Amino acid sequence: MSGLKARINAGETVIGTFVKTPASHVIEILGLAGLDFAVPDQEHAPLDLGAMDQLALASRAAGLPLVARCWGQSPARISPLLDLGCAGVMVPHVADRDTAEAVVAAVKFGRGSRGLSPSPRAGNYGTLAAPAYTAKSDAETVVMVQIEDRAALDRLDDIASVPDVDVLFVGPADLSQSLGCGFPSAELDAAIIRVIAAARRADVAAGLFVGDESQIAPWRERGVSVFVCGSDQGLLMKGARRIIEAGRA
């Protein structure tokens, strides 16, 4: 699972999906399906730390990196997810440089403020010496900051230039709400293109949520390389509807 950050930083296209169901089987299935990563969604689903522990355990079995979308931006919300063995975090509503700096400080031991114990799963239950553990974590953990506020659009270069930010990830639903425009709409597309341009200037990846796989290719051509497509619930709904539509045709 350690290759996700390297792949993102190399500009590879990586595709994942949100996970909103607190069941380890979902992670196993998505891993077998061949996704590059999954995003357990604490912001909009009933995933407490106990549920996240089970999903992170399943992710190791399935070889599927988890980038957890956490409840908030504080170290108390971020660090425990990494201790469980998540490959990174996706942090909502990062609208300025100070917030981005605080997120990175909560993730990277090298910033000097993240609480250190090699005893959790991420440290192989204490079998990794502290220096090896901190070096491995800092080298491999993915930091995705979500751009989903009008205010963030005027601070994109400041946010993108924070060292160790890997992805500017657009949350189009919240961004459209903040802008007061449609989802989809030409105004929203223009804002997303601004994020892509800022990511390119800073040599970081641009990420985007898309509701359907048909949207991946057009946005990849525009410069997006990190995609979260739908969710486990959406995949189940689409599959069930296809069955009933075909059966009643």
Choosing from 10, 25, 32, 44, the catalytic residue is 44
Element (H, E) at 126: none
CA distances from 104 to 32, 165, 233 (A): 31, 7, 30
What is d(CA 23, CA 4) in angstroms, rounded to the nearest whole number? Answer: 23
Residue 90 structure tokens: 């996706």
Per the CB < 8 A criterion, the answer to whether 72 and 93 are in contact is no
Cβ count near 10 (within 10 Å): 10
What is d(CA 50, CA 237) in angstroms, rounded to the nearest whole number? Answer: 26
Active-site residue flag, 44: yes
3-class SS of residue 81: helix
- Give the phi and the psi of residue 41 in degrees, each rounded to 5: -105, 85
Per the CB < 8 A criterion, the answer to whether 56 and 120 are in contact is no
Query: Among 196, 171, 153, 165, which Cα is nearest to 102's?
Result: 165
Alpha-carbon dihedral 94, 172, 63, 43, rounded to 10 degrees: 60
Residue 136 structure tokens: 């491995």
Q: Which residues are catalytic?
A: 44
